[in-house]
Structure 1
Amino acid sequence: MSSQEPKAQNSALSPSRRDVLAGALAAVAGLTMTWKGQALAGEGEKVLRVAMTVSDIPLTTGQPSQGTEGIRFIGTTIYDSLIAWDLSSGEKAATLRAGLAESWSVDANDKTLWTLKLRKGVTFHDGSEFNADAVVWNFDKLMKKDAPQFDQAQSVQASQYYGSISSWSKVDDNTVQIRSKKPDAAFPYSLVNLFFSSPKRWEEVGGDWNKFASQPSGTGPWVVDKLVPRERIELKGNQNYWDEARRPKSDRLVLLPMPDANTRVAALLAGQVDFVEAPPPDAIPRLQGAGMQIVTNAYPHVWCYEISTMEDSAFHDVRVRQAANLAIDRDGMVALLGGLAIPAKGMVNEGHPWFGNPTFKLRYDPDEAKKLLAEAGYGPDKPAKLKIIIAPSGSGQMQPIAMNELIKENYRAVGIDLEFEVLDWETLRGRRRAGAFAPENKGRDGVNNSWAFWDPDIALLKTAASSETPPTGYNWGKFTDAKADELVSAARNAFDAAEQDKILAELHAHVVDQAMWVWAVHDLNPRALAPNVKGFVQAQSWLQDLTPVVVE
């Protein structure tokens, strides 16, 4: 596990922050008797209590809501995927590993046909068998609208993961074949976020997904015991889990939605939780003074604006896009975040195999930004007007209000008039899935959505290709570029990893030169843990494994 001591110029909180935190502590104190009275643990149980940044319990039926935080806390706890991430090390970037499929391969003569050998002996939490029939049933629930088990809610959440799949079939009880719509060397990454629900449990609840949500059954390392919407979900360790190395060390995992950062800090200081996501930077000194562990690590993640390049947006002009990137004081933003970030120089970090050699260098250069804006026809008397959709909190958003206000000031100084539409995180995700061209997004020039780049699809291929617009792709703003399309096609047909990396590096350099998005900082994924929390290995990934974690 790697950690970094955060920069903190002041050893104490500012008076205003102290007042806010004092209020949050008082609020948490009011909840103390409530939580204690709900008997979160049986006698002698080892319990891990985690404060999430989301405002509600993610969807529990199989395909979680609430973005990748939902996947982290519900998808990979209750459920499994055919192919998974190896999250066991903090010293290297996470890589793919076998999940419910022991192996996968593409046909030598037909690069659209993939064969997956399923793991034998796996059962759902209800005791029923996981097999090829269950795989087909679950793909039907997402993509076959006339199937009895089709669920629109899950289909929407999974749409950006199954978009490359054209068909699926059972070969035998332990083998399935999946066909992609076109040759796609990145196809295995599409399967990582598709999770498998129990057909038997669905039948037991009368084919009602709403009832299934309160008593879900997957194959994962944790089993749902109690669920109170907007308040908490309690999971018991699955000691019959098929992967013995990942059988939970804690008896019970309690997940609590706490979108307010100060409330999370107060809950940790008051001993009401053991583990919090995204502590605010200016609370770090107090947390450290109280003996809390502050854990960080580099990982593939960037805080950015996905922007519209359509003709009705000022961002249609590459000069405006470049100016918007040059106007951001990234060092100032890093300082705002207490040192828990690094300036972005593109979608991926410098030194990444896909970084390449962009000729347009992301930096803080307000004079050059003003020059580019003037060339595009904007100036002090005619500012470029932009409207960005943001959320006050959410999965990986760090401190979005303060960060966006800093950008607004930076933009005002160069001649960009920035306006925000503030939405709840899940509502924002819906607007992102709709695309810039949707009626509800008319007049919006971008969406502020932190972004992962752990696989080629989410990093570059589905963001840069003109054909990959929502809901199945990530090209929110209809970025259209012939060279980008050519390089995306080449990367999808490069089944040799080294060759694919070379093409992806060229693609990344090109989209940076074209300022496809506005990139601000890469965060360091901070978490605060109570002193007696042991076993957590912070992987270089947005996803994390809680199975080895225990409160001593």
Structure 2
Amino acid sequence: MLVALIVTMLAVACGGRGGDSAVPDGTVVVGVATLQEQQPDPLIANVGSNLYPVKWSVGEFLINRDETGELVPGLAENWEVSPDGLSWTVRLRRDVYMQDGSPFTAADVKTSMDRAVANQGDPLFSGYALWSSVVSTVDVVDEHAIRLTLDRPFSNALVDAPAPIASGYYQRVGEAEFRRKPIAAGPWIFESQKQNDSMSFRRFEGFWDPSRTPTAKRLVLRIIPDETQRVAALQTGQIDIAANLSPASIYQISDGTVDVPDASQANIYFPDLFTGRPGRAADPRVRRALLMAIDRRGIVDVLYGGRGSVANSAFLPTTLGFEPAPDIPYDPDGARSLLAEAGAEGMEFELTTYASSTSVADVQKLAETVVSYWQQAGVKAKLNIVEPATYLANVRAHKYSDAIILCSPGSLLADPSQFSTFFSSQGAYSALKNEGIDRLFRQLDETRTVEDKEAVARELQRELDEKQYSSPLVNTTAVHGVGPRIAEWIPMAGNPVPGPYWTLETT
């Protein structure tokens, strides 16, 4: 399902702020709440949605998503799959260059894939855990062809593959230096970073796709965690885009906004279901009661100004196979009764969240509101707020108990296979170990047609929702404020993070 982008731009003369601008000509500065672990390496940037703008800027993939969210060929020109689904032969584009000027070849693909497999024990490469577990060998067929041999059929073998990297450069500088200054084939070359402040990029003049070559010469991603400060920076011309704004800030934006409907979902997960620790949430009645105790419609209307919807399913409307799920209404009295029935009346329960996320605005306020509703239902709930970089690393290491909040991009979850990240035994952020769910993910991997994948996806959605293995809260619209120097910008449909930046045009 494709979601239309609503783009509202007010025409403002270049001198709309008296001609003053702190941004140099030819540079676009984007203010973001966080860049998580602040890794410029496009492979490591795959680990969390807050780093996707970096991944798309530095990296160029075998298969891309276009602005509508549709999968399109990237550096892979075409491919053939063996009848048993275990061998993929991929023909690569010619006349493509890496950011160091070296010709793009099959060696760049193999080096990157081998690297992902070799580092699969590193938490920073956890985004490739499933892919690495399936791929047996990567062989160079010729200068512009590779062959992947899989241990089992995996329909996302190319979609989930890492971005090719400059193999000669990588072999010369080694792993540590490459992580510090990566070279790949994307439209932006990483230049430098200031920890907890910014990342800077320059336009790659040799990028292979003219339709996605940026008009700006430089791109700066500036970390401004406080939303009020992001808006102030936009108003004073210090930045050109203020990402992920809440309704409280939108009315202050004089030049316009770019809105992306169904861009993300905020969901409560129960990590004890994965670790096998005894916990209250192991009882499905408790999970249902905790959701019934939250006025999610009120959260959408008040906290997000009506820009979103109540999430009654772990699936988003953008997900293949999505079907509207039964509503679970706000019922605090019913929640209290269900908790008493489960012997959990007055239970102690902790909700852990990151302080900010580029997927969902005001995630800390959202978590505070959830805890308040739980307390009103008689739960002795408390909130644990953690900085994003530390939080996500700890989630991947399963260090939290009771409940956590994660915010997921709709563009990623358009593919139902990607829910394995949260619900399969091998998922990087998984909060569930369940053989029945794992079986459905294996079936998704083995499907050959869209129709077959859609049928399995519907079964998966029903199972997740009926058992309430998570508590979906809200589906939100991403809102980005833009300044007068932005002439045009089309973010990816269903994408909450402010990117990609291929389509940025400046005045």
Same fold (TM over 0.5): yes
Partner of 1:475: 430
**1:431: Cα distance to partner?**
1.5
2:347 maps to which of 372, 380, 384: 384
Partner of 2:26: 46
Give the letter for the 2:357 counterpart: G
In structure 2, do the counterparts of structure 1 residues 79 and 490 end up closer, same or farther at CA, with 3 Å as the change threshold? closer
Q: Which structure 1 residue ranges, 5 or more long, are not aligned?
A: 6-32
Taking the aligned partners of 2:435 and 2:374, their CA distance within structure 1 comes to: 26
In structure 2, do the counterparts of structure 1 residues 115 and 447 end up closer, same or farther at CA, with 3 Å as the change threshold? farther
Q: Is 2:220 the partner of 1:254?
A: yes
Kept in 2, the 8 Å contact 1:446–1:477? The answer is no
**1:317: Cα distance to partner?**
0.6
Report the count of equivalent residues: 484
Taking the aligned partners of 2:386 and 2:37, their CA distance within structure 1 comes to: 18
Partner of 2:75: 100
User: Residues 98-117 of structure 1, C-alpha deviation per residue, up to 9 Å, x if partnerless?
Assistant: 11111233212x21222221
Partner of 2:372: 409
Taking the aligned partners of 2:166 and 2:121, their CA distance within structure 1 comes to: 14
Q: Is 2:500 the partner of 1:537?
A: no
Taking the aligned partners of 1:366 and 1:350, their CA distance within structure 2 comes to: 27
**1:434: Cα distance to partner?**
1.6
Q: Is 2:308 the partner of 1:347?
A: no
2:103 maps to which of 113, 129, 152: 129
User: Residues 494-521 of structure 1, C-alpha deviation per residue, up to 9 Å, x if partnerless?
Assistant: 2121121022112101210100101100
Taking the aligned partners of 2:35 and 2:51, their CA distance within structure 1 comes to: 15
Partner of 2:169: 201
2:139 maps to which of 148, 169, 172: 169
Structure-to-structure mapping, 1:25-44, within 5 angstroms: 41=24
Taking the aligned partners of 1:225 and 1:353, their CA distance within structure 2 comes to: 38
1:240 maps to which of 203, 206, 216: 206
User: Residues 182-205 of structure 1, C-alpha deviation per residue, up to 9 Å, x if partnerless?
Assistant: 2223444322xx22222222345x
In structure 2, do the counterparts of structure 1 residues 500 and 114 end up closer, same or farther at CA, with 3 Å as the change threshold? same
Give the letter for the 2:363 counterpart: P
Taking the aligned partners of 1:182 and 1:281, their CA distance within structure 2 comes to: 47
Taking the aligned partners of 1:399 and 1:503, their CA distance within structure 2 comes to: 34
Partner of 2:5: 2
**1:269: Cα distance to partner?**
1.0
Structure-to-structure mapping, 1:485-500, within 5 angstroms: 485-500=438-453
Kept in 2, the 8 Å contact 1:83–1:101? The answer is yes
Partner of 1:18: none
**1:481: Cα distance to partner?**
5.6
**1:369: Cα distance to partner?**
1.9
Taking the aligned partners of 1:420 and 1:476, their CA distance within structure 2 comes to: 19
User: Residues 288-335 of structure 1, C-alpha deviation per residue, up to 9 Å, x if partnerless?
Assistant: xxx221221223521011213235111101111111222211111112
**1:486: Cα distance to partner?**
4.2
Task: Give the TM-score normalised by structure 1.
Answer: 0.81
Kept in 2, the 8 Å contact 1:56–1:230? The answer is no
Give the letter for the 1:220 counterpart: G
Partner of 2:15: none
SS of the aligned residue for 2:41 comes to coil
1:313 maps to which of 279, 283, 290: 279
Taking the aligned partners of 1:180 and 1:299, their CA distance within structure 2 comes to: 34
**1:152: Cα distance to partner?**
4.6
Backbone CA RMSD of aligned residues: 2.7
1:369 maps to which of 335, 344, 348: 335
Taking the aligned partners of 2:188 and 2:317, their CA distance within structure 1 comes to: 37
Kept in 1, the 8 Å contact 2:28–2:240? The answer is yes
User: Residues 158-200 of structure 1, C-alpha deviation per residue, up to 9 Å, x if partnerless?
Assistant: 4355343232221211111223332223444322xx2222222
Partner of 2:12: none
**1:65: Cα distance to partner?**
4.2
**1:229: Cα distance to partner?**
2.9
Kept in 2, the 8 Å contact 1:167–1:178? The answer is yes
Q: Is 2:483 the partner of 1:513?
A: no
User: Residues 400-445 of structure 1, C-alpha deviation per residue, up to 9 Å, x if partnerless?
Assistant: 221111111111122322222221111111122123xxxx43xx11
Partner of 1:22: none
User: Residues 184-236 of structure 1, C-alpha deviation per residue, up to 9 Å, x if partnerless?
Assistant: 23444322xx22222222345x42523x3554321111123343333223222
SS of the aligned residue for 1:286 comes to coil
Partner of 2:13: none
In structure 2, do the counterparts of structure 1 residues 363 and 164 end up closer, same or farther at CA, with 3 Å as the change threshold? farther
User: Residues 437-468 of structure 1, C-alpha deviation per residue, up to 9 Å, x if partnerless?
Assistant: xxx43xx1122110232222223x45444xx2
Kept in 2, the 8 Å contact 1:105–1:116? The answer is yes
Q: Is 2:503 the partner of 1:548?
A: yes
Farther off after superposition, 300-309 or 501-510? 300-309
In structure 2, do the counterparts of structure 1 residues 303 and 81 end up closer, same or farther at CA, with 3 Å as the change threshold? same
Task: Give the TM-score normalised by structure 2.
Answer: 0.88
User: Residues 518-547 of structure 1, C-alpha deviation per residue, up to 9 Å, x if partnerless?
Assistant: 110011111111133122113213263312
Give the letter for the 2:220 counterpart: V
Kept in 2, the 8 Å contact 1:58–1:70? The answer is no
Partner of 1:356: 323
Kept in 2, the 8 Å contact 1:53–1:395? The answer is yes
Kept in 1, the 8 Å contact 2:42–2:163? The answer is yes
Taking the aligned partners of 1:328 and 1:446, their CA distance within structure 2 comes to: 14
In structure 2, do the counterparts of structure 1 residues 463 and 152 end up closer, same or farther at CA, with 3 Å as the change threshold? closer
In structure 2, do the counterparts of structure 1 residues 507 and 386 end up closer, same or farther at CA, with 3 Å as the change threshold? same
Give the letter for the 2:42 counterpart: G
Taking the aligned partners of 2:317 and 2:98, their CA distance within structure 1 comes to: 42
**1:350: Cα distance to partner?**
5.2
Kept in 1, the 8 Å contact 2:421–2:427? The answer is no
**1:137: Cα distance to partner?**
1.2
Kept in 1, the 8 Å contact 2:32–2:242? The answer is yes
Taking the aligned partners of 1:469 and 1:298, their CA distance within structure 2 comes to: 30
Kept in 1, the 8 Å contact 2:214–2:503? The answer is yes
Structure-to-structure mapping, 1:294-305, within 5 angstroms: 294-299=257-262, 301-305=264-268
Q: Is 2:157 the partner of 1:230?
A: no
User: Residues 320-364 of structure 1, C-alpha deviation per residue, up to 9 Å, x if partnerless?
Assistant: 111122221111111212223211011123585423365x53332
Partner of 1:78: 58
Q: Percent identity?
A: 20
Taking the aligned partners of 2:361 and 2:372, their CA distance within structure 1 comes to: 19
**1:55: Cα distance to partner?**
5.5
Taking the aligned partners of 2:110 and 2:176, their CA distance within structure 1 comes to: 18
Q: Is 2:230 the partner of 1:282?
A: no
SS of the aligned residue for 1:155 comes to helix
Q: Is 2:449 the partner of 1:501?
A: no
In structure 2, do the counterparts of structure 1 residues 63 and 168 end up closer, same or farther at CA, with 3 Å as the change threshold? same
**1:548: Cα distance to partner?**
2.0
Taking the aligned partners of 1:351 and 1:264, their CA distance within structure 2 comes to: 29
Give the letter for the 1:545 counterpart: P
Taking the aligned partners of 1:462 and 1:152, their CA distance within structure 2 comes to: 16
Give the letter for the 1:434 counterpart: A
Partner of 1:19: none
Give the letter for the 2:71 counterpart: L
Give the letter for the 2:170 counterpart: W
